[in-house]
Structure 1
Amino acid sequence: MLTHSTRRWLAGLGVAGAFVAASASPAVAAEDPFEIVAQDILVAPDHYGFAYVYAAPTNSEQPHQFGHTTFDLDFSGIADFAVLEEPGEGWGWACETSGQVVHCETEFAEDDGPWLGIYVSGKHEATPGQKGQLKFAMTSGGKTASTTSTVTVAEAVDLQTVPEASVSGAPGSKLDMPATVRNGSETTSQGAVLLMNGDYLVDYAGNYSNCKPAEYMGVLCTFDEDLEPGKSYRLSAELPFQLHEDVRTGAELLATSVWWTKADWELNSIDWPQDGKPGTGDKLRLVEQSDAKSLERQTDPDMYNNYTDISVKVTGDNQADLSVKGATASGKKGDLVQVRPSVTNLGPALLEYQGRPAFRVTVPEGTTAVEVSGECQPYTTDAEWDQWDGNWGEPGAKEYGCQITESPKGFENPYEFGLRIDTVVPDASGAVSARLAGDPNSKNDTAKIVINPTTTGGGNPGGGNPGGGNPGGGDGDGDNGGGQGGDDGGALPITGQSTGLIAGIGALLLAAGVGGYLVAKRRRTRFVA
């Protein structure tokens, strides 16, 4: 789950998905090895607009390697009404301005490509309706590609909403999602767009004629009613969503709602997939409207107050029973032995992604963890746990906290560790445990990793070779049953964050305007700006 500060930061960036969306048409000849893509920008007087500019190879089979790259930006076309902030800082470019042209240079590693952010502020005396062009040229490998971006001065409209809300329901039940909006500006807003996105375990279940499902983004509703200055509005009926039948009681899922002006949404979503079909029922409305009209385009210069975090709390009685498996291994001093403790969801509920340290591993006495699962990081306290920027896979700790992937009933999550035997201690053991609120069976929540067991414990301990070659191990019983040590244990599942969380973040990124189509594995995604 994103922290509030991270969400605020994301929501403040007004830019479309650079990987999937761009409103300006790049000027590219058929033989050019790459193209430039740049967004159009809306600005308001005394407020900035933001967009990404990036370059993409035109041949996917033999992509262009950029290496040393130069970038020139001519802002003379907007100088009368807007100010360009020199790009480069924070984007890896070295830039300098001469007259009304910014020249930037940088070096790219193999398979890396150029992109950077552009900030443009409307001057105080700028008039809505003024427009001009930014001209871009990028040179790499002796080839130059160019394009333009149109900057338009728009009326400033500040759509505001509450930062947090909550709903609850049992598995399979319908939920009424709240959404309110206030026009905090002095200008009448010509309609609005609402994007509401939930964890994939929470689906839109409505049939409103002005709402349609949007791929990766939940549901999109367009309102024609004018929003008068200083007035607040609610939906004529709350948006219906439905929880999946197998969602776990006690789970807390995340949904978000984001409000846009129509012009901002049109600009930011121009190339995003929008194949969803509107419903066939009544029209969802905003309860107040005004006859005041404006003929100019409108932009929202403050994206920090446009969205609501909606906490979806699952009630009822549908729990997940976590069962922990330990491991055994044997070896001599200096050997590197492999152990593979695991946790399995016995159901009946689906276990949603656990970003907290729900699985814990204590390293056995006399050993050092030199190889650590990438899903684990050194553990001290829950308060110091960092889901997004932790030291994943860091060796040398005595205790590790691990995330648990989204797990349907019967799914096993293995965690591989390579332990160096520093001192041979018979029956050296380390604890393995799982923690989940509401787990109906605490007896199978703990197990042991045993190094050099003196009894077989139901398994066959194996010997390791000195120096870490051919690690030994065997099936060993912990408190809960045998875990495998010393073999590959078959192919590991693809790991990464919950698909629901991925989809939710993907929608939030688009809603906040952050460039990039979010591609991630199913257990963990570490977002790097």
Structure 2
Amino acid sequence: MLTHSTRRWLAGLGVAGALVAASAGPAVAQESDVDLAVYFPDVTIAADSAGKVEYPTVYSSAPVVLHDLTVRYDYTALAGKVTVTDEDNSECTTPEANVLVCTLPYEVGIEDEWGTTGLFEALVAPTEDAADGVEGALKVSVSAKGFDSVSYESRVRVGEGVDLAAGPETTRSAAPGAKFTAPLAVRNVGETTAKGAAVVFYNDHGIRADKKYSNCTYVDDELRTCRFDEALAPGAGGAATLAYALGKDTFAPGSEWGEIIWMTPAEFEDFEAYLNSNDITIGTPGTGGDLDLAVSAASARVSARGSQADTQPDNNATHLEVKVTGKNSTDLEAIGAKLAGGKGAEVPATIGFRNNGPATLDYGRSGSSVTHMEVEVPKGTYAAKVSDWCFPVKGEEWGEPGEPGARKYSCYTSSFVKAGEQETFDFVFRIDEVIANAAGTVKINVPCECDGGFYQDLKPANDTAKILVNATGNGGGEGGGDGDDPTLPITGANTALFAGLGAVLLAAGAAGFVVARRRRMRFVA
């Protein structure tokens, strides 16, 4: 069951459905300026099994729309041992032996560095003649109208079939900053001895490792993986106890969740190769000694492994729920700007919000925005350049992302904002009419009949900030917030007119997103 975090560090979240429907995405580059690439994961399948379904990922060096996208699977190196088929053959043909070719009759857009996946699912399956130890290359090629073909070779292995089953779901209770333990359990419910096991964790931000083991890997205090050499005979179970703590910045009351997914060592190698291809790390080993997997039946350490694959992945996952007790909320504060310039000046502004703490907001499991933010453009100015994460509000409809010229914008914020960090959006305002103390606003925690949003703010009074243009005196004028607020970045294109303001560009919000608003996660698919 791969929900959000196969999800946090496995699956790339897209924009919420309403936003996708409302937007056409950023402008695309000319074909001559774009390079394509393709990736297909290494696959380990069990002999005498139905095989596994995998997907290619198609990348481009810039946003582009592809026509006649074609994927070619060449499994000649595995002839007679492995087949590659598509369950929906309406778009696929077999022009020659051991080759599958699939072409889409419609356009495919690639918007960002994460590429596009889910197209042309390929069922990689063993033949009756396949046996443990078979290994070969699957060549996957991608082409499109106006583009040269690009290829990638994936490794396919055939191994023994085993069936690892995760332990039961676990519930714990703890307050922010408190320590707790949770069981880690697996059982071999198959008929073949499992030659070791690996486990992958998808924990929410609040769940931190209190002890770091040498056969597990971590990024900071986040537990990511553990590997075990213990063999599990048919019917045998293995158990260990994990030491955790809740982060002091965990929101309360609420719940933190962790997913635990077991796999064979060979499947873990395939998974790690996928992460490496995306420059994603599983972390570094701990220094606290091994986490032992106590096995319920006689077993031995595995000295040499053959390839094994799980034949029933549906029972590989379980959950940990930590009910967070007490009260620990946070203060989100709007960030406005002061602009200075003469008629016709185009003035940059960095606006948004900061999380003053003490709690981190983590909506990663739903993928929804931590807050709903609106920007009202100051009177006499024109939004000449708009963040790609902001949409013009036209009555009850939204325009295109980054579309200039609107009077009001709604901005799509991330699903994770750590205490002490801020999230910003870049605009450029053109001053069409010089009006002293003209003011627009940045509003956060705006009510919305949609998912997400934050409505337990510790200081609602700072949820609105001004975008103040050509302030005079004490900066009074239209809009919310204090015109003399020292947190407002002051920007200007004509300092001669407003020397008293010291009109300089202050880079508020340089942190922005560490990765990207739509893909803010630690492990990504």
Q: What is the TM-score normalised by the length of structure 2?
A: 0.60
Distance 1:74 1:505, change over 3 A: same
Quote the residue 1:417 is aligned against. 427
Report what 1:440 is aligned to: 458
Following superposition, the deviation at residue 121 of structure 1 comes to 0.9
* In 1, Cα distance between equivalents of 2:148 and 2:487: 62
Shift of residue 80, structure 1, vs aligned partner: 3.0
- Contact 2:334/2:443 (<8 A) preserved: yes
Corresponding residue number in structure 2 for 1:398:
408
Alpha-carbon distance between aligned partners in 1 of 2:40 and 2:3, rounded to the nearest angstrom: 31
- Identity across aligned pairs (percent)? 26
- For 2:521 and 2:45, the matched residues in 1 are separated by 26
Judged with a 3 Å threshold, the aligned counterparts in structure 2 of structure 1 residues 209 and 358 are, in CA distance, closer, same or farther, namely: closer
* 1:154 aligned to which of 151, 160, 164: 160
SS at match of 1:80: coil
- 2:260 is matched with 257
Partner of 1:60: none
Q: Distance in 2 between matches of 1:144 and 1:55?
A: 10
User: CA offsets per residue over residues 40-87 of structure 1, 9 Å max, x none?
Assistant: 63344242236688999xxxxxxxxxxxx9998653453434322269
- Paired amino acid for 1:358: T
TM-aligned CA deviation for residue 264 of structure 1: 2.0
Check whether the contact 1:326–1:481 (CA below 8 A) recurs between aligned residues. Answer: no
What corresponds to 2:293 in structure 1?
A: 285
Cα deviation, residue 483, structure 1: 3.1
Superposition deviation, residue 259 in structure 1 = 0.5
- Measure, in 2, the Cα distance between the counterparts of 1:88 and 1:437: 46
Specify the SS of the correspondent of 2:417.
coil
Tell me how far 1:240 sits from its aligned partner. Answer: 1.0
CA drift of 1:194 comes to: 1.9
Shift in CA distance, 114/358, structure 1 to aligned 2, threshold 3 Å: closer
Residue pair 2:262, 2:317 contacting (<8 A) in 1 also: yes
Task: Please give the per-residue CA displacement for 1:132-170, whole angstroms capped at 9, x wherever unaligned.
Answer: 5346498999999997845314325253556x6554433
User: Which amino acid in the other structure matches residue 95 of structure 2?
Assistant: T
Report how many residues are paired.
449
Provide the residue aligned with 1:122 in structure 2: 126
Greater mean deviation of Cα atoms: 168-177 or 302-311: 302-311
Distance 1:338 1:137 in 2: 45
Q: Distance in 2 between matches of 1:254 and 1:284?
A: 24
Summarize the alignment of residues 108-507 of structure 1 with structure 2, pairs less than 5 Å apart.
Answer: 119-123=123-127, 125-126=128-129, 128-129=131-132, 131-134=134-137, 136=139, 149-157=155-163, 159-160=165-166, 167-181=172-186, 183=188, 185=190, 187=192, 189-199=194-204, 202-206=207-211, 211=216, 213=218, 218-222=224-228, 224-226=230-232, 228=234, 235-237=239-241, 239-249=242-252, 253-269=256-272, 276-277=284-285, 283-286=291-294, 288-289=296-297, 297-312=307-322, 314-316=324-326, 318-327=328-337, 339-349=349-359, 356-364=369-377, 369-377=383-391, 392-395=401-404, 396=406, 398-403=408-413, 406-409=417-420, 411-418=421-428, 429-430=440-441, 432-434=443-445, 436=454, 438-449=456-467, 456=472, 458-459=474-475, 477=482, 483-484=488-489, 486-487=491-492, 488-490=505-507, 492-496=509-513, 505-506=522-523
8 Å CA contact 2:351–2:442 kept in 1: the answer is: no
Q: What secondary structure, in the 3-state scheme, does the structure 2 residue paired with 1:256 have? A: strand
Shift of 1:193: 1.9
Cα displacement (A) at 1:364:
4.8
Report which stretch shifted further, 265-274 or 356-365.
Answer: 265-274
Cα distance in 1 between the residues matched to 2:238 and 2:100: 46
| 1:238-291 C-alpha deviation (Å, 9 max, x unpaired) | x11233445554576553321112332244436967784466557533563477
The aligned runs of 1:3-18 (5 Å cut-off) are 4=4, 7=7
For the 8 Å contact 1:246–1:349, the answer to whether it is kept is yes
Return 5+ residue gaps in structure 2 as ranges: 12-36, 60-68, 105-109, 446-452, 493-504
CA contact (8 A) 1:192 1:260 kept: yes
Contact 2:252 2:328 in 1 (8 A): yes
**Alignment correspondent of 2:24:** none
State the shift of 1:224 in Å: 1.8
- Counterpart of 2:84 in structure 1 is 84
Specify whether residues 491 and 427 from structure 1 end up closer, same or farther in structure 2 by C-alpha distance, changes over 3 A only: closer
Shift, 1:474, TM fit: 13
Determine the C-alpha separation between the residues in 1 that align with 2:84 and 2:444.
55
Whole-Å separation in 2 of the counterparts to 1:401 and 1:379: 10
How far apart, CA to CA, are the structure 1 residues paired with 2:442 and 2:273?
53
Q: 2: distance between equivalents of 1:415 and 1:341? A: 5
C-alpha spacing 1:378/1:194, structure 2 compared with 1 (3 Å): farther
Q: Which residue of 2 aligns with 1:465?
A: none
Alpha carbons 1:137, 1:145 under 8 Å: kept: yes
Separation in structure 2 between the aligned mates of residue 318 and residue 277 of structure 1, nearest angstrom: 32
Residues 75/358 of structure 1: CA separation in 2 closer, same or farther (3 Å cut): closer
Secondary structure, aligned partner of 1:269: helix
Alpha-carbon distance in structure 2 between the residues aligned to 1:314 and 1:199: 12
Per-residue Cα deviation, 1:395-445 (whole angstroms, up to 9, x for no partner): 547341442663543x55443334568999996654623474553333323
Give the Å deviation of 1:350: 5.4
**1:109-141 alpha-carbon deviations (Å, 9 max, x no partner):** 9x9999998642123x45642625346498999
CA distance in 2, matches of 1:101, 1:443: 64
Q: Gaps (5+ residues) in structure 1?
A: 12-33, 57-68, 462-472, 515-529
Q: Quick one: structure 1 residues 274 and 329, their matched pair in 2 at CA, closer, same or farther if it must change by over 3 Å?
A: closer
Q: CA–CA distance in 1 between the matches of 2:488 and 2:83?
A: 64
Amino acid of the structure 2 residue aligned with 1:75: Y
* 1:403 alignment partner, SS class: coil
The 1:443–1:136 alpha-carbon spacing in structure 2 relative to 1, beyond 3 Å, is: closer
CA distance in 1 between counterparts of 2:53 and 2:233 reads 25
Equivalent residue for 2:96? Answer: 98
- Give how far 1:303 is off: 3.8
Matches within 5 A, 1:35-54: 39=42, 41-49=44-52
SS in 1 for 2:266: helix
- Matched-pair contact (CA < 8 Å) for 2:361–2:370: no
For the residues of structure 2 that align with 1:221 and 1:407, how far apart are their CA atoms? Answer: 30
Distance in structure 1 (CA, Å) of the matches to 2:187 and 2:384:
55
Q: Is the alpha carbon distance of 1:252 and 1:421 closer, same or farther for their aligned partners in structure 2, counting shifts above 3 Å?
A: farther
